[in-house]
Amino acid sequence: MRKLLCLILTLVIFMSFSGCAAKYINVAIPNEKNKEIECPQFIGMTLEEVQRHELYVENVLEFKFEYVKSDKYDVNVICEQSFSAGKKLISGDAITLYVSMGKTHTVVVPDVSGKTESYAKVELESHGFTIAIKEIPHDEVEAGLVIETDPMHGTHWAEGAEITVYISTGKPAKMIKIPNLVGLNKDVAIKDIEDAGLVAVVVERNLAPNEHTSKGKVIAQEPNAGSSELVPEGTEVKIYISTGITDYDIE
């Protein structure tokens, strides 16, 4: 009976100690969600610089933006912040940054992505902006449609300022190496050209005195094979097919 009581008492002491230890461990392990952060100085930074800041990129703080007029700061520059630089914050805290609209009147850039160039031009000019067009290839946006604008839509931008509109030219052209076709039969050469994504142009001609190519075979080609230069898909490849007749110079 005495041994049993000793065993029970030992278990009670062990469990009590384990509970205390667990509490101690829980307190000792830092919680990443409650990590203390020193508030940076955002005033003077541009909106784009803030959006590249690690606290913004990694969602350490909740960022809110409000646009205000300012005689001191240029458009899209942070002119105020809800917490002063150096203040201790906890990860997850919300901070409000006040973005300057500048001295001049600003207008919100409209969303013209996916629209035609002519529509985008009319829409942006109706908001008081000037337009610069740049054409670039794009895998997903159909040729002739707007990919994006710079600055992006939703940005407060000075009335009369320039907006760059990026227009898609469609998917980038696939670049292909010209196959060697000389000596092949006409039909085989045409198939090789078309299989490569190129366009065959066939020209029949007589042989020069120094040529000995059989009738129906490729004498020469343009562009030549073996060139390190690649050509876009759809490029024409001209092949010269032997008639089997030799031309001799007549004095």
Which residues, 6+ apart, have CB-to-CB distance to 194 below 8 Å? 200
Global pTM? 0.40
Shared fold status for 32-100 and 106-168: yes
Q: CATH for 106-168?
A: 3.30.10.20
Which CATH architecture fits 32-100? 2-Layer Sandwich (3.30)
Q: Where are the domains of the chain?
A: 32-100, 106-168, 175-246
pLDDT score of 115: 95
Task: Give the CA dihedral 39, 44, 46, 50, nearest 10 degrees.
Answer: -10
Is the domain 175-246 a CATH 3.30.10.20 member?
Answer: yes
pLDDT score of 71: 79
Distance of alpha carbon 172 from alpha carbon 170, whole angstroms: 6
Distance of alpha carbon 192 from alpha carbon 124, whole angstroms: 49
For each of the chain's 251 residues, which pLDDT tens digit applies?
Answer: 555 555 555 555 555 544 444 443 343 344 456 789 999 999 999 999 999 999 999 999 999 999 888 878 888 999 999 999 999 999 999 999 999 987 767 899 999 999 999 999 999 999 999 999 999 999 899 999 999 999 999 998 888 889 999 999 998 878 888 999 999 999 999 999 999 999 999 999 998 888 888 899 999 999 888 666 788 888 999 999 999 888 775 44
Distance of alpha carbon 80 from alpha carbon 30, whole angstroms: 32
pLDDT score of 85: 94
pLDDT score of 63: 96
Secondary element (H or E) of residue 13: helix 2-28
Distance of alpha carbon 43 from alpha carbon 208, whole angstroms: 79
